[in-house]
Amino acid sequence: MGKYKIFVDGSAGTTGLRIADRLAQCSDITVLPISDADRKNLHARAALINESDLSFLCLPDDAAREVVPLLRSDVRVLDTSTAHRTDPAWVYGLPELHGTREKLKTAARVAVPGCHATGFIAPTAPLVQLGLLPKTTQLCCYSLTGYSGGGKKMIAEYEAPRTDPALNAARPYGLALHHKHLPEMAAVTGLDKPPLFVPVLADYYAGMETMIPLDLPALGLTAQQVADALASYYAGEALVTVHPLNSGTDGGFLAANKLAGRDGLEIFCLANPDGTQMQLISLFDNLGKGSSGAAVQCMNLMLGRKETEGLKQ
Question: How do residues 278-291 score in pLDDT, each as one tens digit?
Answer: 999 999 999 999 99
Give the Cα-Cα-Cα angle 169, 172, 174 (nearest 5 degrees).
150
Residues 181-190, mean pLDDT to the nearest whole number: 98
The residues assigned a catalytic role are 115
pLDDT of residue 313: 87
Question: How do residues 234-255 score in pLDDT, each as one tens digit?
Answer: 999 999 999 999 999 999 999 9
pLDDT of residue 236: 97
pLDDT at 184 over 60: yes
Prediction pTM value: 0.97
Contact 47, 24 (CB under 8 A): no
Question: How do residues 56-78 score in pLDDT, each as one tens digit?
Answer: 999 999 999 999 999 999 999 99
Distance, CA of 294 to CA of 298 (rounded, Å): 6
Inter-axis angle of helices 14-23 and 293-303, to 10 degrees? 50
Would you state the torsion angle of the CA atoms of residues 12, 286, 187, 81, taken in this order, to the nearest 10 degrees? 0
pLDDT at 1 over 70: no
